[in-house]
């Protein structure tokens, strides 16, 4: 396979290992071979004393990584094999490994960072986005739930922002990504090459983590003006503090304040367009995840996976949105008010797998 065809490119320059996602035509969606290449290289560099830090980035301006290879998961399930479970097991293992990596990882993101892409970067030491980044966990829109550690990092965002983003699947722009804590630093798109140039020429001290932090402080911003979530925070924290889907819906329906009325109506419309079962299970997953460790969150997501392919809405969502493209998914439940708490709890009754 030529370098052009390799889905992940690797190189070491000036003490930095560069991992470069290289499927720009496919929005750098993660495949199982990519996950294995990333894992193998990270483990090799962790043992290599010549590598002081890792930069995780991608080719193409449209997306850092738009998620996982959903079509493969769909085909694997229909074929009756176990490839989709192998994919999730190895993806989650990689994501959890990144959280605990012993050397600093700088994730450099441009364009879409969605789903599986979020799993790759949320454990990085430095999460650096460009001003044109779009971040999100859109899973409820395809009948799934936020995974890849989403049950850990989303409920730990300020207030109820993570619950709101998880249930709606809404994407956020750069200012909001910084505001809610999904990213740490932001660069103008034209500064991305400047950062790489600086990395190629920087002088290392005994503390690579602080060297990188100092470099970012000279180039990047930690906040941007215009964060929409900041203006909505009061309403989000109020409405999404409720413990049940029915209570959240009722709270949004009762919103009468002029400055929040349109947002509440739009949010209800968004929730109603998603899989009702996925929205309800996502709320429960976030509430449980807030009390669990990172490892326990990944275990819970994997246990839920084993049930979801048979009893959830993912296969129908992928069919409607990616396979047949009729954009008319026939969800198991037709409305949010059909969701019964007993049904939601049944997805969490199975003990987590070791």
Catalytic residue among 68, 115, 119, 317: 68
Catalytic residue among 69, 95, 110, 139: 139
Judge if 202 and 252 occupy the same domain: no
pLDDT tens digit string along 80-125?
999 999 999 999 999 999 999 999 999 999 999 999 999 999 999 9
What CATH number is attached to the domain comprising 100? Answer: 3.90.226.10
Look up 68 and say whether it is catalytic: yes
Q: What are 249's two structure tokens?
A: 């819906």
What pLDDT does 135 receive?
A: 98
Judge if 68 and 198 occupy the same domain: yes
- The reply to whether 161 falls in a domain is no
Please say which residue of 219, 245, 278 terminates a domain. Answer: 219
In 3D space, the residue among 162, 144, 164, 146 whose CA is nearest the CA of residue 154 turns out to be 162
Please say which residue of 167, 199, 219 terminates a domain. Answer: 219
- The reply to whether 2 falls in a domain is no
- To 10 degrees, the CA torsion angle through 193, 198, 204, 207? -60
10-residue stretch averages of pLDDT, the chain, 354 residues long: 79 98 96 97 98 97 94 91 95 98 98 98 98 98 97 98 98 98 97 96 96 97 97 98 97 97 98 98 98 98 94 95 94 96 91 47
pLDDT tens digit string along 26-78?
999 999 999 999 999 999 999 999 999 999 999 999 999 999 998 989 999 99
Judge if 132 and 23 occupy the same domain: yes
Q: Domains in the chain: how many in total?
A: 2
Judge if 298 and 237 occupy the same domain: yes
Q: What are phi and psi of 326, to 5 degrees?
A: -85, -10
What pLDDT does 245 receive?
A: 97
Judge if 43 and 127 occupy the same domain: yes
- The reply to whether 152 falls in a domain is no
Beta strands per DSSP E along the chain: 8-13, 16-21, 53-58, 63-65, 105-109, 112-114, 126-130, 134-136, 185-187
Judge if 195 and 262 occupy the same domain: no
What pLDDT does 55 receive?
A: 98
Beta strands per DSSP E along 22-175: 53-58, 63-65, 105-109, 112-114, 126-130, 134-136
87 in Cβ contact with 35 (< 8 Å): yes
Burial of 190 (C-beta count, 10 Å sphere; 0-12/13-18/19+): exposed
Judge if 294 and 212 occupy the same domain: no
Q: Enumerate the β-bridge partners of residue 10.
A: 19
What pLDDT does 351 receive?
A: 53
Range of the domain at 340: 228-346
Quote the CA–CA distance of 120 and 247 in Å, as a whole number.
33
Judge if 235 and 209 occupy the same domain: no
Please say which residue of 219, 243, 277 terminates a domain. Answer: 219
Pairing outcome for strands 105-109 and 16-21: unpaired
What pLDDT does 354 receive?
A: 42
- The reply to whether 308 falls in a domain is yes
Judge if 244 and 99 occupy the same domain: no
Please give the distance of CA 140 from its chain centroid, rounded to a whole number.
12
- The reply to whether 56 falls in a domain is yes
149 in Cβ contact with 194 (< 8 Å): no
Helix (H) or strand (E) holding 224, with range, is none
What pLDDT does 57 receive?
A: 98
248 in Cβ contact with 239 (< 8 Å): yes
At 9 the three-state DSSP class reads strand
- The reply to whether 118 falls in a domain is yes
199 in Cβ contact with 272 (< 8 Å): no
DSSP letter at 255?
-
Please give the distance of CA 75 from its chain centroid, rounded to a whole number.
22
Quote the CA–CA distance of 121 and 353 in Å, as a whole number.
25
Q: Locate tokens 């441009």: which residue?
A: 110
Catalytic residue among 17, 111, 115, 116: 116
Judge if 125 and 107 occupy the same domain: yes
What pLDDT does 3 receive?
A: 58
- The reply to whether 145 falls in a domain is no
pTM listed for this prediction: 0.95
In 3D space, the residue among 152, 173, 51, 159 whose CA is nearest the CA of residue 95 turns out to be 152
Look up 17 and say whether it is catalytic: no
What pLDDT does 5 receive?
A: 79
What pLDDT does 349 receive?
A: 84
Please give the distance of CA 330 from its chain centroid, rounded to a whole number.
25
In 3D space, the residue among 82, 90, 87, 151 whose CA is nearest the CA of residue 300 turns out to be 151
- The reply to whether 180 falls in a domain is no
What pLDDT does 259 receive?
A: 96
DSSP letter at 106?
E
Judge if 16 and 130 occupy the same domain: yes
Judge if 66 and 207 occupy the same domain: yes
In 3D space, the residue among 274, 223, 221, 211 whose CA is nearest the CA of residue 245 turns out to be 274
In 3D space, the residue among 182, 72, 166 whose CA is nearest the CA of residue 123 turns out to be 182
Quote the CA–CA distance of 168 and 141 in Å, as a whole number.
8
């Amino acid at each position: 396979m030529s370098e052009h065809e390799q889905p992940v490119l690797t190189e070491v320059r000036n003490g930095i290992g560069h991992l470069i996602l290289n499927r720009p035509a496919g929005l750098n969606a993660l495949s199982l071979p990519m996950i294995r290449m990333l894992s193998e290289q990270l483990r090799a560099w962790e043992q290599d004393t010549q590598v002081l830090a890792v930069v995780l980035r991608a080719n193409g301006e449209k997306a850092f990584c738009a998620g996982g290879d959903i079509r493969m998961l769909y085909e694997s399930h229909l074929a009756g094999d176990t490839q989709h479970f192998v994919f999730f097991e190895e993806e989650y293992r990689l994501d959890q490994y990144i959280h605990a990596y012993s050397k600093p990882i700088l994730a450099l993101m441009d364009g879409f960072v969605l789903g599986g892409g979020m799993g790759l970067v949320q454990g990085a030491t430095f999460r650096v986005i460009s001003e044109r980044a779009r971040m999100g966990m859109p899973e409820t829109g395809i009948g799934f739930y936020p995974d890849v550690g989403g049950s850990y990092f989303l409920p730990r965002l300020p207030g109820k922002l993570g619950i709101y983003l998880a249930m709606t699947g809404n994407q956020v722009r750069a200012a909001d990504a910084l505001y809610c804590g999904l990213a740490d630093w932001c660069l103008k798109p034209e500064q991305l090459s400047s950062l790489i140039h600086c990395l190629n020429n920087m002088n290392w001290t005994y503390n690579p983590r602080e060297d990188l932090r100092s470099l970012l402080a000279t180039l990047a911003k930690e906040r941007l003006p215009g964060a929409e979530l900041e203006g909505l925070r009061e309403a989000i924290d109020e409405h999404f503090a409720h413990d049940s889907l029915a209570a959240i819906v009722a709270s949004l329906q009762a919103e009468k304040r002029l400055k929040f009325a349109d947002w509440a109506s739009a949010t209800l419309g968004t929730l109603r367009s998603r899989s009702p079962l996925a929205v309800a299970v996502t709320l429960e997953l976030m509430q449980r995840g807030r009390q669990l460790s990172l490892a326990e969150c990944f275990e819970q997501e994997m246990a839920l996976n084993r049930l979801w392919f048979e009893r959830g809405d993912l296969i129908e969502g992928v069919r409607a949105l990616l396979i047949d493209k009729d954009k008319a998914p026939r969800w198991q439940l037709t409305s949010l008010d059909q969701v019964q708490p007993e049904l939601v709890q049944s997805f969490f009754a199975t003990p987590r797998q070791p």
